[in-house]
Amino acid sequence: MKLRAIMAVLCVTPLMLSVSRAQAAESVAVLHWWTSGGESKAVGVLKDDMTKAGYKWNDFAVAGGGGAAAMTALKTQVISGNAPSAAQIKGPLIQEWAEQDVLVPIDSVAKSENWKASLPPAIDKLMQADGHYVAAPFSVHRVNWLYINKAALDKAGGKVPTTWPEFFAVADKMKAAGITPVAMGGQSWQELTLWEDVVLSQGADFYKKAIVDLDQKTLTSPQMMQAFDTVRKIQGYFDQGRTGRDWNLATAMVIRSNAGMQFMGDWAKGEFASAGKKSGADFICAPVPGTSNAYTFNVDSFVFFKQKGRDTATPGQLAMAKEIMNPAFQEQFSFYKGSIPVRLGAPMAKSDDCAKKSYNDEQVAIDSGGYVPSLAHGMAQSDAVAGAISDVVTKFMNSNQTSQDAVNALARAAKTK
Ligand code: BGC
């Protein structure tokens, strides 16, 4: 049974609801997966702003980096007729939910606040379905970062790597100095994040052909074989305990000098900030080797669900959409989250060096064609295609499969409908 049909069966009369709404402050139920230290502080800013504006915040936080568990919980809620007011949905999944006819447009806010002129065109487009704004964007995360513990780098006597040979030289020095070179977690989205970083190091055009266009020739090329070989080599620098490890626990290994480096998007920087660590002095953020001119973007957004008995957004939903795009909110949110405001021209006075570098690199990448959507973070492909590719990478990283076999499997996965 389609979501649409289920929603129709579960419909409640408008009269019943308008009575209860008039009596109590509107409660906004919000489903998200922001549960780590930095993430909780960031979403706390929105919660406080909504509470100050007179709304009751009903928190549905579903732990699990990358959001797979949250997406499963969301489906259950919608199918059982309890859709939240807002949910953390991003990329092409916004359109997939809109097609189910369960979202409400927020055009009135987007138009009066002139979102079109305030967002990079690619992101403005992602927020719309069928000509209507249905999602509000928070911030831009850059995915292709390498975080390095400064003391570990100094102890090993290495320098910040800009190429893979330099990276392996630093990793060897860390190993020799008794430091685990690479902190890695154990979930498939973390493996896919590393893999797409390595694919990007073959060039932004290569990445686009492989990951955005799913071009068979590129997917089976010698460069793709080389990407799998590089991932295999990096695996040699993990510790033994990564099975099931969450991303923020891997970040904590770098924060506490238990490991030297981590490949992760800049939500990891929210953890460093939350632990009182300073970029430059305590840790270094560097683009993944070979990717300094490119930028894999990951834009978080909320969509707004139809509430029982109405087809239009509630006052609370419109207020939330407006607040999410408020420049001062975006500055504070990003400060905790590790991202940069998605709103063009939003203030960045509180930003650290890494955020400033992210902003500058973003502008350069947009102008030079190096601004590409992250596959691992739901920006590049449908859920089905991203899931099929993710399975290939996970199998490769958890077996002795050869790069040739992985490339063949990748080419098949890319044909998923
Ligand atoms: C989300 C981030 C989140 C990260 C870890 C990403 O997919 O976009 O907001 O911090 O997953 O959970």
**Would you say the CB of residue 300 lies under 6 angstroms from ligand 1?**
yes
CATH fourth-level superfamily of 26-141+298-353: Periplasmic binding protein-like II (3.40.190.10)
Q: Would you state the structure tokens that stand for residue 131, as one six-digit string?
A: 């000509």
Q: Spell out where 198-282 has E strands.
A: 259-263
Kind of pairing, strands 128-129 and 340-341? unpaired
Nearest residue (CA) to ligand 1, atom 9: 300
347 touches 327 (CB < 8 A): yes
- Residue ranges matching CATH 3.40.190.10 in the chain: 26-141+298-353, 145-296+373-413
Cα–Cα distance measured from residue 239 to residue 235, given in angstroms and rounded to the nearest whole number: 9
| pLDDT on residue 345 | 87
Helices (H), 24-163: 37-52, 68-79, 93-99, 107-112, 115-118, 121-126, 150-156
| pLDDT on residue 194 | 98
| CA 79–ligand 1 middle distance (angstroms) | 24
**Would you say the CB of residue 88 lies under 6 angstroms from ligand 1?**
no
Ligand 1 atom with the smallest distance to the CA of 299 is 8
In this prediction the pTM is 0.93
pLDDT digits (tens, 9 = 90+) for 319-344: 999 999 999 999 999 999 999 999 99
Q: Which residues face 303 on adjacent strands? A: 87, 135
| CA 392–ligand 1 middle distance (angstroms) | 21
219: closest CA among 346, 9, 392? 392
**Would you say the CB of residue 67 lies under 6 angstroms from ligand 1?**
yes
| pLDDT on residue 122 | 87
| pLDDT on residue 2 | 37
| pLDDT on residue 349 | 86
**Would you say the CB of residue 32 lies under 6 angstroms from ligand 1?**
no
**Would you say the CB of residue 298 lies under 6 angstroms from ligand 1?**
yes
Q: Which residues contact 8 (CB under 8 A, 6 or more apart)?
A: none
| pLDDT on residue 350 | 84
The SS3 of residue 128 is strand
131: closest CA among 150, 100, 110, 152? 110
**Would you say the CB of residue 185 lies under 6 angstroms from ligand 1?**
no
CATH 3.40.190.10 fits 145-296+373-413, yes or no: yes
Q: pLDDT 10s per residue in the chain (417 long)? A: 333 333 443 333 333 333 344 447 999 999 999 999 999 999 999 999 999 999 999 999 999 999 999 999 999 999 999 999 999 999 999 999 999 999 999 999 999 999 999 998 889 999 999 999 999 999 999 999 999 999 999 999 999 999 999 999 999 999 999 999 999 999 999 999 999 999 999 999 999 999 999 999 999 999 999 999 999 999 999 999 999 999 999 999 999 999 999 999 999 999 999 999 999 999 999 999 999 999 999 999 999 999 999 999 999 999 999 999 999 999 999 999 999 999 998 888 889 999 999 999 999 999 999 999 999 999 999 999 999 999 999 999 999 999 999 999 999 999 998
200 touches 371 (CB < 8 A): no
